[in-house]
Chain A
Amino acid sequence: MRYLPHSDHERAEMLGVIGAADIDALFSAVPKKALKSFDLGLPAHSPEFLVEAHMRALAAKNHAGADGPFFVGAGAYRHHVPATVDHLIQRSEWLTAYTPYQPEISQGTLQMLFEFQTQVAKLTGMDVANASLYDGSTGTAEAVLMARRLTKRSKIVLSGGLHPHYRDVVRAYLKDDADLEILSASPEGQGDILDHIDETTAAIVIQTPDFYGHLRNLKTAADAAHAKGALLIVVITEVVSLGLLEAPGALGADIVVAEGQSIGNALNFGGPYLGLMATRKEFIRQMPGRLCGETVDADGQRGFVLTLSTREQHIRREKATSNICTNSGLCALAFSIHMGLLGEAGFTRLARLNHANACTLADALEGVPGVRVLNKTFFNEMTISTPLPGAALIERLAARGILGGVPVSRLIPDDPAVGNLIILAATELTSAADIAALCTALSEELQ
């Protein structure tokens, strides 16, 4: 067994030092009837080349993004990850390190987290960011709980444009809570959230671009929320949009939550992803998750440590702000390296490229008979209506090797009004040939 260093001779020698007759003697606290009283029936250990063959066979049964035209979005986006990013995150000292609880020998991870927090704060236009959460959806649920702690109010209003999965996660976290108001989805992009804010409202939650791709007016929402003493939580599932759209912080957001997967992280069938969270300075003691702070060492040299941990579960136990005791460190590293490579110039250009390709896609789709683009505004994602049920159409496109988007009915199955809607995303990886292939296929299927 290639991962286990001991020879049988060494094992015997060690048992001798311990003074144990055999290995079973070390399991003497285990009740007799539970100790190896079973046959696992699992396969025995396997050479590397056979394991590799097994896994390759499984992988080969999947249609990878690069295998054909690809327009799937709705909360996860296919972007290019520079080779440098993936090389660097595989360096042992990043990959196989633990949480930086011993700061003297973890300065690499800590400085990276400090840089990451700075990048996220700048992107969102907020004062401070944490060192990441599991993903955007759980981050949204955490933001909702944080807003309740901050305002000591209970009512939460979720905009209809919030990603249905995010809505479901918030619902699971607030199980059976009568004070959760979920507005119905509007594929046309109208929002009526402003009428639902009152003196009991802790926060309103608005996603922009929303689930259907529409851009939302955050300034109006922030003003309306603040007028009633409520907070504005802004959710962003496509973080690249911040290269082109005004920062939520500049428009009055109080907490910003984003899914950071788009930068530096592969699609990975849904995880691991990267939850970003940023807020105002005065709120940091109620913000969940890890924080890295600057300080000095005994020689007066600048250094970094995890800080404000008195909010956390390992100190406060049942009084902690959250039960979270980890972050997405390696995903944050990938994000930070990719963002560091892009810089202001590159990130802005990436965002423009995404938007330009989406504009090309929208114009081309408008030319397909029977297809209507619902969006007047969008960043890199839009919703179309077609004469056929979306799910069936997407299956037919898949049979032709084209992953043509997400049928809305897959996420909102109980609303017949959305049955013929499809959400499509374009990124920098979307080529003119991909768009032409999609439109040709759509035209033929809709004839």
Chain B
Amino acid sequence: MSMNNQGRPTGTGTSGFASTSGSAMLPNEPLLFEIGDNEHSGVDLPEVKISGDRLSGFERKSPLDLAGLTEPEAMRHYVRLSRLNHSIDSGMYPLGSCTMKHNPRLNEKMARLPGFADIHPLQPVSTVQGALELMNQLSHWLMTLTNTAAVALTPKAGAHGELLGMMAIKAAQDAAGQSHRTIVLVPESAHGTNPATAAFLGYSVKPIPARADGTVDVQAVKDALSPDVAAIMLTNPNTCGLFEPQVIEIAEAVHAAGAFFYCDGANFNAIMGVVRPGDLGIDAMHINLHKTFSTPHGGGGPGAGPVVLSAALAPFAPVPFVRRGEHGLELVEHEEGQALGRITAFQGQMGMYVRALTYMLSHGGDGLAQAAQDAVLNANYIKARLAHAFSVPFDDYPTMHEALFDDSFLAGTGVTTLDFAKALIDEGFHPMTMYFPLVVHGAMLIEPTESESKQTLDRFCAVMEELAADAKAGNAERFTSAPMKAPRRRLDETRAARSPILKWEKPEVELKAAE
């Protein structure tokens, strides 16, 4: 069918998809540029005359060619598009290592208070004392929960936090005349951002293999340590959902070798209020506020990745940071001593600080610990309920916040992990994380989080058991043709990569007619 010539429809066709977001009739929504045009606008602004020559001949001569919508048209376009999305508010989202938990609306309400949303990062510090106090309180909570000496709030996402943490390690070692340390140890099960971050800073990456039980081999770490090793980047709880049982021994060995322990804190929600990473010997760890402290994922961002630092690394925290001075709180904006400069303009993700602190105060220290325990309880419940029908690669320890299965239970069925995930869509669930971690074959990583009720978990487990039974019974078609009930059937990703179409172009027919 023709896609690009739908004009300005006042209503769009419906193609009768069953929706994962609760609607039986979902539109095949045209693109903004197929509905709007250069004349319409949904914003009323006065026309003005410009006098004088302040633009000095730099005026725009090429047309913008931007489509505009009136307000009612825009409302429908974006409401219709929204209905093509699965979200945590519309159904369970058991993505492992992504932590899709409830996003309280109180957080949103507070972030929109003009005293937080309508303040400028460069207005006088005397006029933003409440904002600095908020940053100070958030810092106190983060340092208390981790038992660390300092925190750098500014990183804009977890990977940005990793970058900062490793920059701090590099700065500390350079300052100590240890610039010859050029190797970073990264377990094979690590997030891809870990090796990318180390390489970004010029380190060579040395992989550490996982043991048969899914944890890091302490002996392998000890064997890999040398005077040239700068740091280890370890995720704990790790990406197999396991708490590294010998993490203290690893930290001691790393420190004894003069190296630092960077901890990827992506999974901190499993232990917040229950285990303090500082007690384990970490030197730096980022905390994804969106995973752990309920700031919403927003369809892929923005995140926020504050980094806690040990006493050894604290002097290297970047600017800006908040400090108590003679006249109240002050914002240190320029390098002093060993601070390692600036990794983003301004103060970081203030909007996320408000949401995170709101969540912390709502939960309290007791609630955060209970939330971590419930997240672990839920994951172990799923593992226990599904162990008989699925295959569990690692079973020596209780799992933490996520349950990991491999694809050996699908052997001989003609159904892959991908097929299985897509079949779950037809049952109204977002698929689990697939093919990660890389250390097991056909991985399925399920993270229910603490916000799913027992009833939801039971329904999810029942669907999973039924799907596993159906796959084993030889009904491969149900899986290979899935999804049938989503807004789209399976999409051709190879085609998208081979000949990338990354923006809308006017259809040639229209262009010719216009000539």
A161, B115: Cα distance in complex, Å = 31
Q: Which listed segment binds B: A25-33, A194-202, A226-234, A438-446?
A: A25-33
CB distance from A332 to the nearest CB of B (A): 8
- Check if B129 is an interface residue, CB within 8 A of chain A: yes
Q: Tell me the A74-102 residues at the B interface (CB within 8 Å).
A: 74-76, 78, 82, 84, 86, 88, 90-100, 102
A86, B78: Cα distance in complex, Å = 12
Contact A343 B69 (CB under 8 A): yes
- Chain A residues with CB under 8 Å of B495's CB are 295-296
- Check if A244 is an interface residue, CB within 8 A of chain B: yes
Contact B123 A403 (CB under 8 A): yes
Contact B196 A123 (CB under 8 A): no
CB distance from A90 to the nearest CB of B (A): 6
- Chain B residues with CB under 8 Å of A76's CB are 120-122, 346
- Check if A55 is an interface residue, CB within 8 A of chain B: yes
- Check if A117 is an interface residue, CB within 8 A of chain B: yes
Q: Tell me the A267-291 residues at the B interface (CB within 8 Å).
A: 267-273, 284, 290-291
- Chain A residues with CB under 8 Å of B357's CB are 55
Contact B87 A95 (CB under 8 A): yes
Contact A40 B192 (CB under 8 A): no
- Check if B149 is an interface residue, CB within 8 A of chain A: no
Q: Tell me the B416-457 residues at the A interface (CB within 8 Å).
A: 421-422, 425, 430-431, 436, 450-454
A165, B118: Cα distance in complex, Å = 21
Contact B90 A88 (CB under 8 A): no
* Mask of B68-86 contacts with A, CB within 8 angstroms, 1/0: 1101001101110111111
A358, B266: Cα distance in complex, Å = 46
Best-surrounded residue of B37, B122, B195 (most CB of chain A within 10 A): B122
Partner of B156 from A45, A138, A315 at Cβ < 8 Å: A138
What does DSSP make chain B's interface, helix, strand, loop or mixed? Answer: loop
- Check if A1 is an interface residue, CB within 8 A of chain B: yes
Contact B74 A341 (CB under 8 A): yes
Contact A10 B68 (CB under 8 A): no
A374, B422: Cα distance in complex, Å = 61
Best-surrounded residue of A55, A269, A322 (most CB of chain B within 10 A): A269
- Check if A128 is an interface residue, CB within 8 A of chain B: yes
Residue of B nearest to A320 (CB): B196
- Chain A residues with CB under 8 Å of B103's CB are 95-96
Q: Which listed segment binds A: B49-57, B224-232, B254-262, B306-314?
A: B49-57
> Please, how many residues of chain B have a CB less than 8 angstroms from a CB on the other chain?
209
Contact A341 B3 (CB under 8 A): no
CB distance from B300 to the nearest CB of A (A): 4
CB distance from B130 to the nearest CB of A (A): 3
- Check if B292 is an interface residue, CB within 8 A of chain A: no
Q: Tell me the A1-32 residues at the B interface (CB within 8 Å).
A: 1-6, 10-11, 13-15, 17-20, 23, 25-31
Q: Tell me the A93-134 residues at the B interface (CB within 8 Å).
A: 93-100, 102-109, 111-112, 114-115, 117-119, 121-123, 125, 128-129, 131-132, 134
Contact A5 B453 (CB under 8 A): yes
- Chain B residues with CB under 8 Å of A114's CB are 31, 502-504
A6, B454: Cα distance in complex, Å = 7
Partner of A99 from B40, B297, B354 at Cβ < 8 Å: B297
Contact B66 A323 (CB under 8 A): no
- Chain B residues with CB under 8 Å of A349's CB are 41, 45-48
- Check if B117 is an interface residue, CB within 8 A of chain A: yes
A52, B346: Cα distance in complex, Å = 26
CB distance from A74 to the nearest CB of B (A): 6
- Chain A residues with CB under 8 Å of B490's CB are 104, 297-298
Best-surrounded residue of B32, B133, B134 (most CB of chain A within 10 A): B32
Contact B299 A103 (CB under 8 A): no
Contact B363 A96 (CB under 8 A): no
- Chain A residues with CB under 8 Å of B114's CB are 59, 64-67
- Chain B residues with CB under 8 Å of A447's CB are none
CB distance from A297 to the nearest CB of B (A): 4
- Chain B residues with CB under 8 Å of A5's CB are 451-454
- Chain B residues with CB under 8 Å of A95's CB are 87, 89, 103, 108, 296, 298
CB distance from B333 to the nearest CB of A (A): 7
A26, B381: Cα distance in complex, Å = 11
Given contacts A23-B376, A45-B362, contact A59 B301 (CB under 8 A): no
Given contacts A5-B452, A344-B66, contact A103 B144 (CB under 8 A): no
CB distance from A121 to the nearest CB of B (A): 5
Q: Tell me the A116-165 residues at the B interface (CB within 8 Å).
A: 117-119, 121-123, 125, 128-129, 131-132, 134-138, 163, 165
* Mask of B391-414 contacts with A, CB within 8 angstroms, 1/0: 000000110000000000000000
A313, B194: Cα distance in complex, Å = 9
Contact A28 B119 (CB under 8 A): no
Contact B192 A295 (CB under 8 A): no
A430, B481: Cα distance in complex, Å = 57
Partner of B279 from A38, A138, A295 at Cβ < 8 Å: A38
- Check if A417 is an interface residue, CB within 8 A of chain B: no
Contact B43 A341 (CB under 8 A): yes
CB distance from A137 to the nearest CB of B (A): 4
- Check if A243 is an interface residue, CB within 8 A of chain B: yes
- Chain A residues with CB under 8 Å of B119's CB are 62-65, 267-269
Contact A318 B299 (CB under 8 A): no
Q: Which listed segment binds A: B159-167, B471-479, B507-515?
A: B159-167
- Check if B321 is an interface residue, CB within 8 A of chain A: no
Partner of A359 from B54, B59, B436 at Cβ < 8 Å: B54
Contact B503 A118 (CB under 8 A): yes
- Chain A residues with CB under 8 Å of B333's CB are 410
* Mask of A308-349 contacts with B, CB within 8 angstroms, 1/0: 111011111111101111111111010011011111111111
- Chain B residues with CB under 8 Å of A134's CB are 156-157, 160, 302, 344
- Chain A residues with CB under 8 Å of B265's CB are none
Residue of A nearest to B368 (CB): A42
- Check if B280 is an interface residue, CB within 8 A of chain A: yes
Q: Tell me the B132-148 residues at the A interface (CB within 8 Å).
A: 133-134, 141, 144-145, 147
Given contacts A46-B361, A63-B119, A398-B126, contact A125 B49 (CB under 8 A): no
- Chain B residues with CB under 8 Å of A36's CB are 274-275, 369
Given contacts A48-B362, A293-B502, contact A55 B110 (CB under 8 A): yes
A30, B398: Cα distance in complex, Å = 10
Given contacts A343-B41, A346-B68, contact A63 B367 (CB under 8 A): no
A316, B200: Cα distance in complex, Å = 12
Q: Enumerate 5 A-B pairs (CB-CB under 8 Å) in ascending A order.
A: A102-B86, A109-B299, A246-B58, A259-B345, A342-B66
